[in-house]
């Protein structure tokens, strides 16, 4: 048996993995602030820009996620996380030296492959080293780290844009992640490591078994629908929000980075923490509550999304954006906890990878790409305002997601602890 993990070591591990979550979205989000500059310098259209921010990233994120998560369910998770951090950090730096659409696609593929493995391995590790009564709060705190990264990426990129071009910013932000990867490897806890040996379970759960488990479970099928629909809206707003404020409301990069970053921070971070606290207090043994709570948030988010898109005032749009992100964020922590409660512990990393696959393909892949395509379609009629009808169409997915969340809670059947 491996030695027990001290509270201090457990908290150090949480702190490091929290930073990993922050950095993953900083590296990803700085692209969105500079995407109009990249579009101009590389001679791209919104459709190609959508492919860079969307489908090319999402496909390779998915392809890399499952084999890495499968190893994470049986091997040394801190090694997985450390290597992933170093790979995506180097790929971020490579974005700064790309001089063609093809070179930028390759750099984005490297970023996707690196980020694909860290999330599932981190969730698997954290849910094992923390007690069950703190699990939803830990999950939501990890999601809040991603939210801080999204906001921090905009703040940092907006500030750096006043002094550096977009190429230099990618190099400045990307390279320090190598040091974080080393720290994760040296300092994180791993219960599977006793005297330097990895404990491998005799039976390994594969991707097909996880997919069959989800397909056979009514509640998890509703979760699957939710995880397809909601990210289409959520990632469309995240990926194209900076371009929206620069094109529609005429904000500078520095202004966009500060104001949009602040709006995301308030909405996403508070939303994740509130979701974790509420779900741990009232939803720990009540999946119906978790589903209802998540669903109501998504349904309320829909009219706020329309206000964000069509308000002529940038500050009203920012306030609506805070509301949208807050209400949308209430769903994910409770839904992940609801899903984890219906599968065995040994399946959770691959389950997490499955969740990330659905979010990534639907949100970054479909949402990010389709927004660009629709914007290009509407451009002859709407000009610089073409993102408005594109985002309006995709906001309708929130209604479907809200209904799916409620149904997932009503049909959930958790395993006996």
pLDDT in tens, 298-334: 999 999 999 999 999 999 999 999 999 999 988 887 8
> Is a pLDDT exceeding 90 seen at residue 56?
no
What is the assigned CATH class of domain 7-190+204-411? Answer: mainly alpha
Per-residue pLDDT at 408: 93
Q: Out of 165-169, 203-207, 278-282, which region has the weakest mean confidence (pLDDT)?
A: 203-207
The percent of residues in the chain predicted with pLDDT above 70, rounded, is 92
Per-residue pLDDT at 67: 80
Q: Out of 53-67, 301-315, 354-368, which region has the weakest mean confidence (pLDDT)?
A: 53-67
Per-residue pLDDT at 342: 83
Query: Rounded to an integer, what distance in angstroms lies between the CA atom of residue 36 and that of residue 375?
Result: 13
| Residue count (the chain) | 417
Structure tokens at 288: 């119906």
Mean local confidence (pLDDT), 19-34: 86
* Neighbouring residues of 189: CB distance < 8 A, sequence distance ≥ 6: 5, 9, 10, 12, 13, 78, 125, 129
Domain-wise residue ranges, the chain: 7-190+204-411
Query: Rounded to an integer, what distance in angstroms lies between the CA atom of residue 12 and that of residue 126?
Result: 11
Mean pLDDT computed over every residue of the chain: 85
Mean local confidence (pLDDT), 87-108: 90
Per-residue pLDDT at 202: 45
Could you tell me the pTM of the whole model? 0.75
Per-residue pLDDT at 416: 59
Structure tokens at 30: 């700085």
The percent of residues in the chain predicted with pLDDT above 90, rounded, is 35
Mean local confidence (pLDDT), 24-47: 87
- Classify the C-alpha dihedral 78-69-343-366 as positive or negative: positive
Per-residue pLDDT at 237: 93
Q: What per-residue string of b and e applies to 101-135 under the rule 16 or more CB within 10 Å gives b?
A: beebbbbbbbbbbbbbbbbbbbbbbbbbbbeeeeb
pLDDT in tens, 205-217: 666 787 888 888 9
Per-residue pLDDT at 1: 45
Query: 194: pLDDT confidence band, cut at 50, 70 and 90?
Result: very low
HSE toward the beta carbon, residue 15, CA cutoff 13 A: 8
More confident residue, 116 or 157: 157
Query: 3: pLDDT confidence band, cut at 50, 70 and 90?
Result: low
Per-residue pLDDT at 207: 67
Mean local confidence (pLDDT), 374-385: 93
């Amino acid at each position: 048996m491996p030695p027990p993990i001290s509270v201090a070591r457990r908290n150090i591990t949480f702190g490091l993995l929290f930073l990993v979550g922050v950095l993953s979205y900083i590296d990803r989000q700085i692209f969105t602030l500079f995407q109009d500059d990249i579009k101009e310098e590389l001679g791209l259209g919104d459709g190609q820009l959508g492919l860079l921010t969307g489908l090319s990233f999402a496909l390779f994120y998915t392809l890399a996620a499952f084999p890495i998560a499968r190893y994470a369910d049986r091997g040394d998770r801190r090694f997985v996380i450390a290597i992933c951090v170093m790979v995506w950090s180097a790929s971020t730096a490579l974005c700064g030296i790309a001089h063609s659409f093809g070179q930028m696609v390759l750099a984005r593929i490297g970023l996707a492959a690196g980020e694909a493995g860290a999330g599932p391995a981190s969730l698997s590790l954290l849910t094992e080293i923390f007690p069950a009564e703190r699990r939803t709060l830990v999950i939501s705190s990890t999601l809040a780290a991603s939210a801080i990264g999204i906001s921090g990426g905009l703040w940092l990129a907006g500030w750096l844009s006043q002094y550096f071009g977009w190429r230099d910013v990618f190099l400045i932000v990307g390279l320090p992640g190598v040091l974080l990867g080393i720290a994760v490897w040296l300092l994180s806890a791993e219960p599977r490591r006793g005297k330097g040996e990895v404990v491998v379970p005799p039976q390994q759960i594969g991707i097909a078994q996880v997919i069959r488990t989800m397909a056979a479970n009514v509640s998890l099928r509703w979760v699957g629908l939710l995880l397809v629909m909601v990210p289409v809206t959520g990632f469309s707003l995240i990926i194209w929000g900076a371009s929206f404020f620069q094109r529609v409301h005429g904000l500078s990069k520095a202004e966009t980075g500060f104001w949009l970053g602040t709006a995301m921070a308030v909405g996403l971070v508070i939303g994740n923490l509130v979701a974790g606290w509420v779900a741990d207090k009232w939803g720990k043994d009540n999946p119906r509550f978790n589903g209802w709570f998540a669903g109501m948030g998504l349904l309320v988010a829909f009219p706020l999304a329309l206000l964000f898109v069509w308000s002529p005032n940038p500050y009203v749009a920012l306030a609506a954006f805070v509301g949208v992100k807050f209400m949308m964020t209430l769903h994910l922590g409770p839904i992940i906890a609801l899903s984890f409660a219906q599968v065995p512990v040994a399946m959770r990393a691959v389950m997490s990878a499955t969740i990330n696959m659905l979010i990534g393909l639907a949100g970054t892949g479909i949402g990010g790409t389709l927004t660009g395509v629709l914007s290009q379609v509407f451009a002859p009629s709407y000009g610089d305002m073409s993102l408005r009808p594109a985002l309006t169409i995709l906001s309708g997915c929130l209604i479907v997601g809200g209904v799916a969340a409620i149904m997932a809670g009503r049909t959930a059947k958790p395993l006996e602890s």
